[in-house]
């Protein structure tokens, strides 16, 4: 009997799910399930909820653009990840944007978490709806309140078209504009890498609203974006080919440690403003990145080394990976698949479950400041 804590089911059938839950429950009576669904299977959420309810199994989950399985991207099926003992989990829909309301809401979130923070080795695992526009601010506020009581990891769920969609669920609800929080313990945290280099020329986002860049260098954002792409990379971007090219030319927010935070523009508004995944602070100094600057080999080596340092040898271990949907577009399907397969080979992991994500949360080191990124890989051991 396969009692692996990670099961990919290529077809979602109630009877098969029930059989799996039954097997798991025999060995782990206090178990719970995290389900990762691809967008194409979002209609099956009630099937999962009913199956878990019938077995009295606690369920949480999220809908992503696609799943990753066996070094490939899948748009069908479901990953069912077993918690041997269901940890604390909380689903918060409709996070406020107003600063005062957000502060009050996060006070409530932290009050819910605090009683469950016993001992070292706790990771706060966060799955956000990608449409939440202030994830960076929320991370800053959580770090102020929780500090190093937890490690931070997470990813964004939702539709790759960036259309609003309920994408976070538990045993009875499916919600949007929220966050699903889980406390993994014992757990050693996650490693986040992207491997983007830092180009020479800098620009300034002189007018922003959350995750929308209105102006760059005091001019309409898209106009400057077009000029930069032309001047730096010889690429003509217009309204017609924006969606084809933009993912290849993301913005980078430069940090003092030489590591940039990537922001992929995913929509072009009528007024020439650019809509990104993740906040861009007003007057943030940006740079324009391009695909060839991703160093996949370095990215994978750094990640595997850091994961090994955290968890010990990874041979046969079960890993959880979130791979940025923008990065896949950026690199192209072949290079992205090669990265997934490279990760599998380098880790010799027993099983790697994962999903294509719309933004990632983590830090470059196991104790670093938690950041919200685009275009990265986030990897962690599934259980400590």
Partner 1 sequence: MNREHVMSVLYDIALVIGGETSVRPLLTKTVQRILYHTSFPTGLVFLDPPTATGTATIEVRLDAAVGDFGFNRLVGKPLNIPTALLEGPASVIEDPELLRSLTDATRPYGACLRLPIDHEGVILLLAPRLPTTQLPLTHVFQPVMTNLAKALLLCRHNDAFAASLVAERDMAEQSLEETEEKFRSITSVAQDAILMIDDKGMLAYWNPAAERIFGYTAAEAIGNDAHRLIVPERYLQAFEKGFAGFRQTGNGPIIGKTLEIEALRKGGDEFPVELSVSALQLDGRWHAVGILRDITTRKRNGAALRQSEASLRKALLGTIQAVALMVEKRDPHTAGHQLRTARLAVAIAHELGWPADRIEGVRLSAIIHDIGKIYVPTEILSRPGKLNELEIELIRSHSQVGFDIIRNVAFPWPVAQIILQHHERFDGTGYPNHLAGEQIIPEARVLAVADVVEAMTSHRPFRPASSIEEALEEIARDRGTHFDPEVVDACLRVFREHGFSFEELPAGAG
Q: Which residues bind partner 1 (CB under 8 A)?
A: 140, 143-144, 146-149, 198, 200-202, 254-259, 281-285, 363-365, 367-369, 371
Nearer to partner 1 (CB atom), residue 96 or residue 199:
199
Q: How far is the CB of 383 from partner 1 (least distance, A)?
A: 22
Nearer to partner 1 (CB atom), residue 200 or residue 270:
200
Among 285, 63, 258, 259, smallest CA distance to 159 is for 63
Q: How far is the CB of 359 from partner 1 (least distance, A)?
A: 17
Nearer to partner 1 (CB atom), residue 10 or residue 121:
121
Q: Are 127 and 175 in contact (CB under 8 A)?
A: no
Q: How far is the CB of 57 from partner 1 (least distance, A)?
A: 33
Nearer to partner 1 (CB atom), residue 151 or residue 351:
151
Among 41, 82, 75, smallest CA distance to 59 is for 82
**Inter-CA distances, 5 with 118, 132, 144, 293, Å:** 24, 30, 33, 36
* CA–CA separation, 78 and 69 (whole Å): 10
Q: In which residue are the tokens 């180009």 written?
A: 199
Q: How far is the CB of 141 from partner 1 (least distance, A)?
A: 10
**Ramachandran bin of 210, using left for φ above 0, alpha for ψ from -120 to 50, beta for the remaining angles:** left
Nearer to partner 1 (CB atom), residue 158 or residue 252:
252
Q: How far is the CB of 106 from partner 1 (least distance, A)?
A: 15
Nearer to partner 1 (CB atom), residue 149 or residue 346:
149
Q: How far is the CB of 294 from partner 1 (least distance, A)?
A: 19
* CA–CA separation, 10 and 116 (whole Å): 35
Q: How far is the CB of 158 from partner 1 (least distance, A)?
A: 25
Q: How far is the CB of 192 from partner 1 (least distance, A)?
A: 12
Nearer to partner 1 (CB atom), residue 258 or residue 313:
258
Among 160, 133, 290, smallest CA distance to 225 is for 290
* CA–CA separation, 297 and 317 (whole Å): 22
What is 83-120 written as a DSSP string? ESS---EEEE-S---SHHHHHHHHHHHHHHHGGG--SS
Q: In which residue are the tokens 């890989």 written?
A: 377
Q: Are 342 and 155 in contact (CB under 8 A)?
A: no
Residue 210 DSSP one-character state: T
Nearer to partner 1 (CB atom), residue 4 or residue 232:
232
């Amino acid at each position: 009997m396969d009692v692996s804590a990670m099961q990919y089911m290529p077809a979602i059938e109630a009877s098969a799910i029930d059989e799996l839950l039954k097997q798991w429950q025999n060995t782990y009576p206090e178990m719970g399930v995290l389900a990762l669904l691809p967008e194409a299977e979002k209609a099956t959420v009630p099937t999962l909820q009913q199956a878990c309810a019938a077995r009295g199994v606690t369920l949480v989950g999220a809908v992503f653009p696609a799943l990753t399985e066996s070094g490939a991207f899948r748009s069908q099926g479901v990953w069912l990840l077993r918690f041997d003992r269901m940890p604390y989990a909380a689903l918060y829909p409709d996070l406020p944007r107003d600063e005062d309301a957000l502060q009050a809401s996060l006070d409530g979130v932290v009050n819910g978490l605090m009683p469950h923070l016993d001992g070292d080795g706790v990771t706060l695992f966060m799955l956000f709806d990608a449409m939440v526009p202030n994830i960076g601010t929320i991370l800053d506020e959580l770090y102020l309140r929780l500090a190093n009581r937890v490690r931070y990891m997470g990813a964004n769920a939702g539709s790759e078209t960036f259309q609003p969609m309920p994408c976070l669920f538990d045993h009875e609800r499916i919600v949007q504009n929220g966050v699903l929080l889980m406390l993994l313990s014992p757990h050693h945290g996650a490693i986040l890498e992207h491997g983007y280099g830092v180009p020479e020329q800098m620009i300034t986002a002189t007018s922003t609203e959350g995750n929308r860049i209105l102006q760059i260098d005091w001019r309409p954002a898209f106009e400057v974006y077009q000029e930069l792409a032309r001047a730096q990379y010889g690429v003509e971007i217009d309204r017609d080919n924006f969606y084809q090219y933009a993912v290849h030319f993301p913005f980078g927010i430069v940090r003092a440690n030489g590591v940039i935070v990537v922001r992929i523009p995913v929509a072009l508004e009528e007024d020439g403003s650019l809509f990104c995944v993740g906040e861009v602070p007003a007057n943030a100094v940006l740079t324009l990145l391009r695909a060839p600057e991703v160093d996949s080999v370095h990215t994978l080596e750094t990640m595997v080394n850091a994961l090994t340092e955290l968890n010990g040898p990874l041979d046969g271990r079960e890993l959880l990976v979130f791979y940025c949907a923008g990065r896949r577009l950026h690199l192209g399907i072949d290079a992205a698949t090669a990265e997934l397969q490279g990760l599998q080979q380098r880790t010799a992991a027993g099983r790697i479950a994962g999903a294509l994500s719309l933004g990632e949360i983590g830090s470059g080191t196991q104790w670093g400041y938690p950041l919200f990124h685009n275009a990265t890989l986030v990897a962690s051991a599934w259980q400590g």
